[in-house]
Structure 1
Amino acid sequence: MRVLVTGGSGVVGEAVVKALLRRGHAVRLLARHADEEARTWPEGVEPHAGDVTQPETLRGAGDGCDAVLHLVGIVDESPPHATFERVNVEGTQHVVDEAARAGVPHLVYVSSLGAERGASPYHRSKHAGEQIARRFGGRWVVVRPGNVYGPGDEVVSLLLRMVRTLPAVPVIAGGDQPFQPVWADDVGEALAEAVEREDLAGQTLDVAGPERTSMHDLLDRFARLTGREPLRVPLPGPIASLGVKVAGALGVSLPINESQLTMLAEGNVIDDPARNALQHALRVTPTPLDDGLRRLLDALPEQLPDEGVGALRRRRFWADVQHPRTTPEQLLDRLCRRFHEVTPSQMDLKAEPGTPTAVLAEGQTVTMALPLRGTVQVRVAELDAHMLTLQTIEGHPLAGAVRFAVRAQGPDALRFEVEVLDRAASAFDWMAMAALGSRLQRATWREMVEAMVEESGGTAPDGVQEEDATLEGDDAARVEEWLRALAEARRRADHEAQLAGAEVHGEGPRG
């Protein structure tokens, strides 16, 4: 079966593409940057670049397809282009029109739990999309997932980052409103099932996770998993709504937007468990909430430099070692084997319960506590005999990478170097780095270079040397493209492993 998937690049999109490929289907991926997204899959994914708000770009997307799975939708508006009316309503009509033109027999429309009764602008737009889907001339199925969480989602993942990095977390509107988050992979399997099943035609299926939770409950669970329990600051009623507006205007992320505030007040649960189609109709065994949260701990995406603010900086710290007792390859191997021991004391690499301390390997996530910042993560992006590159992960104060390199400098000498390429992740982080962070960072890397000189068994007569520069123009663009390519390669490797049924670095439960 060939399936047209619209919006296959988000949290749910990746999960459903994976589920469809595992079941032996081919996927045509419709997205604005479809070529880039298709490259992260080993095979079976054909790109079609298009925008649901521009119907001319959809022409031909449905040709030769056996089903259309319409995922594209926004939960927050960014006028004038990204509005609920343009994307969730008109965009759905454009997709349905293309499916009808191409003679596609089956349509699965992804709505939202509570859309039929919701008063939020988002819910009203999804309900309007449902009406459009029901007018489709072929078979149609409407699936209404509840709050979907997975690597990089805008609610649960964001709350995890806040718990890790902030001294205080805003608790919206009391924090006790119930909702039923559902793990993204479970939704992916459910949607793939809806694509395959003709007997579901004409049905509207509500889908939610197996357990009810609330913001307070999630904070309790994250406290157990991360070992951090920031102060909870209540933001009641109108103050919460005003706070969301002010935070949005300042570019500050909160784990909720105005539509979601309304949705919480309405209730985002399935009262009767028999109405939860996840297990009963769609035959998916749900992931327990604690298991999903545990998987999430090491699965957040990379934080790329082009997502940050301010200038892109390049800082180098190195020492030329005379008469080392190790070869460059042996010294790099020692760094990977003893990374948790040779890193400076201000970087606590046992910051969270169950944090793995094994030899570094490609794809592995490293969790650490930084002074004045809380707990952050980096991921091993590339590793060979002479070089190790760590990329920052969402929640880190810096967007970029740290590269460690060991090179021979003659018959009896080597150079150990730390190269830091980054910009601040946010305006707040830019101010923090300007005030104190740069000095701490400088001390950290100088100390690490000194530790690796000692590991080598040699001496560095000239001591630790350093260089600091701002990258602009083509130089900055090359670094950004390099790190984007590394993240893309990591996603492709993860997808290959997942499709092969292997456990991916960073996605298995911590012991």
Structure 2
Amino acid sequence: MKVLVTGGTGVVGKAAVDHLLKAGHAVRLLSRHADADARQWASGVEPHTGSVSSDEAVAGAAEGCEAVLHVAGIVAENPPESTFQEVNVEGTRRLAREARRAGVRRFVYVSSYGADVGESDYHRSKFAAEEVVRAEAPPGWLVVRPGNVYGPGDEVISLMLKMVRTIPAIPLVGMGGQPFQPVWMDDLGLALARAVERTEPAETVVNVMGPDVTTMRDVIELLGKITQRNPVLVPVPEFLAKMGTQALETVGIDFPVKEGQITMLQEGNVLPDGAVNGLTETFGVTPTPLGEGLGKLADTLPEMLPSDGTGTLHRQRYWADIHGSQLTKDELFEVVRTEFYALAPAGLLEVGAEPGSSTAMEEGETLTLEIPLRGHIQVRCVDISDHTITMVTLEGHPLSGAIRFDVTEVSPGVLRFEVRSFTRSAHLIDRIGMRTFGKVAQRATWRSVVSAGVERSGGTAPEGVQEEETALQGKDAEDVENWVEGVVMRYRRARSPDAHPSA
């Protein structure tokens, strides 16, 4: 069947789309940048450009669809552009009316656990949206209330992981002892796909939670064991945390939770004893234990493209022309690919900084690196072809962009080993840092890698390690952004569920 999905590019929505595709369904994706968003799946996803905030975009969106999965919503307001009333409530009303007009047989709305009792503005808006579903959605509707969802790019636990990896101290709301029951995004995605497929239960509410009750403090300790990092935990009184989150975010400092989420933590986010957990009892999903889910999360943070960063895009080249190499082009390339950890300079870059993390460049592998003053950061190998390796930075890295390693034969008997980076600072704080120590360390690192490659080849580089830095503007910057995005999208499509139907 064909399913209209909103919010299909977020943590929850993407997981649901993946499972719908695995089950053989077709998806119509409603999003602001639907044409670009749909490119991350090999096939089976039809783009429908627009927003739930637009009457024109929603009109006709469900035509020819048998079901609607409405995930889109906001957890924080940005008035006047986006408010809880306009997006969460009125957006749901538009979808419900469109579904009824199109004769959709199943309308599944993703709300939030505690929406019926929560005092935060967010929870009030989600409950108001539930009331809209009850009144205006087609018969057979279903409301799913998940607990805190974690997965690559979520706004709480993923952020905590990045903080554990990169900073020496982490602020905690209160003592970090507020209980919550997080659910792994893939488990929720499967539950939602099954909710869409089935006709029962109907016209009711189903709570979906993970299997483990935990606290913020416990999660950080688990992440510390996974990453072998031990940041200091700094308790922040709840009233000060509420006052400070907006101010901190204004200057580019991430806080683990938003103001509304602090209210939700205070209210509790745990199923009471004896309550039905729809994850297992309604949808039959085998839940992922918290420790296992956090381990998966540690290796699956999303890529940060050059367009995600801030400031000027810089291209840096470091290369050496090697004469008399005792290794062929193929052999030297294989050394770079498999022994990068040995080429990296001690004290500036340690490859394989976390237990079980890869040290070789294999397509699809994520390398965890330790950098002075930055802790652990990650890069992902998204393409290996034509003696070129392309790595892309992940969230948590001080830079957003790509790094290329090339081995070419520039003339008979002369090999060139080159490292080329295309990067922007990830955000304002890193922009300041990269102007000082960061830039010096980056230059020293890549010069050392190239120099080690020359030594490993057994040849010499009469002209030494050469370098060039260029600030890219206009079309030059746009061309690089398009190239990196294209490589990443090809990588994602090759790994999307519809690329391997039998998986």
Under a length normalisation based on structure 2, what TM-score does the superposition of the two structures give? 0.97
Conserved in 2, the CA contact under 8 Å of 1:318 and 1:464?
yes
Moved more, 163-172 or 134-143: 134-143
Moved more, 379-388 or 88-97: 379-388
* Counterpart-to-counterpart distance in 2, 1:191 and 1:5: 11
Alignment correspondent of 1:151: 152
Alignment correspondent of 1:348: 350
Conserved in 2, the CA contact under 8 Å of 1:181 and 1:212?
yes
What are the ranges of 5 or more consecutive residues in structure 1 without an aligned counterpart? 503-511
Residue 118 of structure 1 aligns with an amino acid whose one-letter code is: G
Conserved in 1, the CA contact under 8 Å of 2:74 and 2:84?
yes
* Counterpart-to-counterpart distance in 1, 2:223 and 2:498: 27
Secondary structure in 2 aligned to 1:5? strand
Conserved in 2, the CA contact under 8 Å of 1:274 and 1:280?
no
Q: Map of 1:313-328 to 2, 5 A cutoff? A: 313-328=314-329
* Counterpart-to-counterpart distance in 2, 1:117 and 1:414: 68
Indicate whether 1:290 and 2:291 are aligned: yes
* Counterpart-to-counterpart distance in 2, 1:188 and 1:442: 43
Tell me the alpha carbon deviations over residues 95-152 of structure 1, each in whole angstroms, 9 at most, x when there is no partner.
Answer: 1111111111211111000000000000000000000111124211100000111111
Conserved in 2, the CA contact under 8 Å of 1:21 and 1:499?
no
Conserved in 1, the CA contact under 8 Å of 2:96 and 2:138?
no
Tell me how far 1:363 sits from its aligned partner.
Answer: 1.4
Alignment correspondent of 1:429: 430
Secondary structure in 2 aligned to 1:139? coil
Tell me the alpha carbon deviations over residues 277-328 of structure 1, each in whole angstroms, 9 at most, x when there is no partner.
Answer: 1101111111100110001111001111222122111111111111112222
Conserved in 1, the CA contact under 8 Å of 2:384 and 2:390?
yes
Aligned Cα root-mean-square deviation (Å): 1.3
Alignment correspondent of 2:340: 339
Alignment correspondent of 1:507: none
Indicate whether 1:122 and 2:122 are aligned: yes
Residue 285 of structure 1 aligns with an amino acid whose one-letter code is: T
Structure 1 residues 376 and 498, CA gap change in structure 2 (3 angstroms) = farther
* Counterpart-to-counterpart distance in 2, 1:305 and 1:401: 7
Secondary structure in 1 aligned to 2:40? coil
Tell me the alpha carbon deviations over residues 160-194 of structure 1, each in whole angstroms, 9 at most, x when there is no partner.
Answer: 00000001111112210000110001101111111
* Counterpart-to-counterpart distance in 2, 1:224 and 1:41: 34
Structure 1 residues 286 and 252, CA gap change in structure 2 (3 angstroms) = same
Tell me how far 1:492 sits from its aligned partner.
Answer: 1.3
Alignment correspondent of 1:88: 88
Q: Map of 1:20-169 to 2, 5 A cutoff? A: 20-135=20-135, 136-169=137-170
Secondary structure in 1 aligned to 2:87? helix
* Counterpart-to-counterpart distance in 2, 1:279 and 1:499: 27
Indicate whether 1:176 and 2:177 are aligned: yes
Tell me how far 1:248 sits from its aligned partner.
Answer: 2.5
Residue 103 of structure 1 aligns with an amino acid whose one-letter code is: G
Q: Map of 1:430-445 to 2, 5 A cutoff? A: 430-445=431-446
Conserved in 1, the CA contact under 8 Å of 2:34 and 2:47?
yes
Tell me the alpha carbon deviations over residues 254-296 of structure 1, each in whole angstroms, 9 at most, x when there is no partner.
Answer: 2211110100000011113542111011111111001100011
What are the ranges of 5 or more consecutive residues in structure 2 without an aligned counterpart? none
Indicate whether 1:16 and 2:16 are aligned: yes
* Counterpart-to-counterpart distance in 2, 1:36 and 1:308: 18
Alignment correspondent of 1:303: 304
Under a length normalisation based on structure 1, what TM-score does the superposition of the two structures give? 0.96
Residue 333 of structure 1 aligns with an amino acid whose one-letter code is: E
Alignment correspondent of 1:508: none
Alignment correspondent of 1:460: 461
Conserved in 1, the CA contact under 8 Å of 2:387 and 2:407?
yes
Secondary structure in 2 aligned to 1:170? strand
Structure 1 residues 209 and 127, CA gap change in structure 2 (3 angstroms) = same
Residue 400 of structure 1 aligns with an amino acid whose one-letter code is: G
Secondary structure in 1 aligned to 2:469? strand
* Counterpart-to-counterpart distance in 2, 1:404 and 1:236: 48
* Counterpart-to-counterpart distance in 1, 2:263 and 2:59: 36
Secondary structure in 2 aligned to 1:409? strand
* Counterpart-to-counterpart distance in 1, 2:138 and 2:502: 38
Conserved in 1, the CA contact under 8 Å of 2:21 and 2:27?
yes
Secondary structure in 1 aligned to 2:243? helix
Residue 32 of structure 2 aligns with an amino acid whose one-letter code is: R
Alignment correspondent of 1:414: 415
* Counterpart-to-counterpart distance in 1, 2:502 and 2:443: 42
Moved more, 493-502 or 413-422: 493-502
Tell me the alpha carbon deviations over residues 10-64 of structure 1, each in whole angstroms, 9 at most, x when there is no partner.
Answer: 1111110111111121111111111112221122211111110111111221111
* Counterpart-to-counterpart distance in 2, 1:150 and 1:81: 27
* Counterpart-to-counterpart distance in 1, 2:252 and 2:88: 24
Tell me how far 1:481 sits from its aligned partner.
Answer: 1.3
Alignment correspondent of 2:404: 403
Tell me how far 1:205 sits from its aligned partner.
Answer: 0.3
What is the aligned-residue identity percentage? Answer: 51
Secondary structure in 2 aligned to 1:198? coil
Structure 1 residues 181 and 367, CA gap change in structure 2 (3 angstroms) = same
Conserved in 2, the CA contact under 8 Å of 1:333 and 1:385?
no
* Counterpart-to-counterpart distance in 2, 1:420 and 1:192: 40
Tell me the alpha carbon deviations over residues 199-248 of structure 1, each in whole angstroms, 9 at most, x when there is no partner.
Answer: 21112001110001111000110111000011111111211111212112
* Counterpart-to-counterpart distance in 2, 1:101 and 1:30: 17
* Counterpart-to-counterpart distance in 2, 1:36 and 1:411: 43
* Counterpart-to-counterpart distance in 2, 1:414 and 1:277: 60
Conserved in 2, the CA contact under 8 Å of 1:329 and 1:385?
no
* Counterpart-to-counterpart distance in 1, 2:295 and 2:211: 16
Residue 42 of structure 2 aligns with an amino acid whose one-letter code is: P
Secondary structure in 1 aligned to 2:210? coil
Alignment correspondent of 2:250: 249
Conserved in 1, the CA contact under 8 Å of 2:43 and 2:498?
no
* Counterpart-to-counterpart distance in 1, 2:175 and 2:109: 33
Equivalent pairs, count: 501
* Counterpart-to-counterpart distance in 2, 1:39 and 1:105: 28
* Counterpart-to-counterpart distance in 2, 1:187 and 1:447: 45
Conserved in 2, the CA contact under 8 Å of 1:303 and 1:399?
yes
Structure 1 residues 421 and 137, CA gap change in structure 2 (3 angstroms) = closer
